[in-house]
């Protein structure tokens, strides 16, 4: 396994739309392993392939305290949702920044697992939020995009300053 570099906002590559995975093969399985290792090392609870500059529709999520409940999803799509809830979110691509974001309270998602098998999953709470957040990355959206233009500008400046200092 290998650690991957995580793109940092406002990197424009974070706003590119990921393409569907045609076939789950050994390359995709290795990417899922590398993404998982990168997410755990960061540390984070979710990571999408575009965050590591791979424009394919793959996410990994693990909201467990013990970090032993990895959920990998290839070509995930939300097939139904209901309710609205607001929660504080952060992002590995926007380190040190947290903000309230409104998302659906309950979702049903369809995806392929790391073997290519199609499955559906009902998710709510932190898991549902995390999946929606990561699917946004596949669609070229960062949670900052949900904030006011003023907050976006402040965060952009903060991230650019931090990148210059590093």
Question: Is there a domain that residue 5 lies in?
Answer: no
Give a yes or no: residue 110 inside a domain: yes
CA separation for the pair 154, 86 (Å, rounded): 21
Q: What is the CATH number of the domain that holds 145?
A: 3.90.45.10
Q: What percent of the residues of the chain are helix, what percent strand, and what percent coil, each to the nearest 5?
A: 35, 35, 30
Backbone Cα Rg of the chain: 15
Q: Could you tell me the pTM of the whole model?
A: 0.96
pLDDT of the residue at 75: 98
**How many domains does one find in the chain?**
1
Q: What confidence tens digit (pLDDT) does each residue in 61-75 have?
A: 999 999 999 999 999
Q: Is 98 within 8 Å of 114 (Cβ atoms)?
A: no
The answer to whether position 26 is within a domain reads yes
pLDDT of residue 165: 83
Q: Which residue numbers are catalytic? A: 134
Taking only the tens place, the pLDDT of each residue in 82-128 is 999 999 999 999 999 999 999 999 999 999 999 999 999 999 999 99
> Is 156 a member of any domain?
yes
Domain that holds residue 58: 12-165
Q: Residue 166: pLDDT above 80? A: no
- C-beta of residue 49 within 8 angstroms of C-beta of residue 56: yes
For residue 4, is it within any domain? no
Residue 37 lies in a domain: yes
């Amino acid at each position: 396994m290998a650690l991957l570099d995580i793109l940092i906002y406002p990197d424009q590559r974070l706003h590119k739309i990921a393409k569907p995975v045609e076939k789950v093969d050994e390359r995709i399985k290795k990417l899922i392993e590398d993404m998982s290792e990168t997410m755990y090392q960061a540390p984070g609870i979710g990571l999408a392939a575009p965050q590591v500059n791979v424009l394919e529709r793959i996410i990994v999520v693990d909201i467990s305290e013990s970090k032993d409940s990895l959920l990998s999803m290839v070509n995930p799509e939300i097939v139904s949702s209901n309710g609205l809830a607001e929660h504080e979110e952060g992002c590995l691509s926007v380190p040190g920044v947290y903000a309230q974001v409104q998302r659906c309270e309950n979702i049903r998602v369809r995806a392929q697992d790391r073997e290519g098998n199609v499955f559906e999953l009902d998710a709510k709470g932190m898991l549902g939020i995390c999946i929606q957040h990561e699917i946004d990355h596949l669609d070229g959206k960062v949670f900052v995009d949900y904030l006011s233009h003023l907050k976006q500008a402040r965060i952009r400046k903060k991230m650019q300053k931090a990148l210059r200092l590093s």
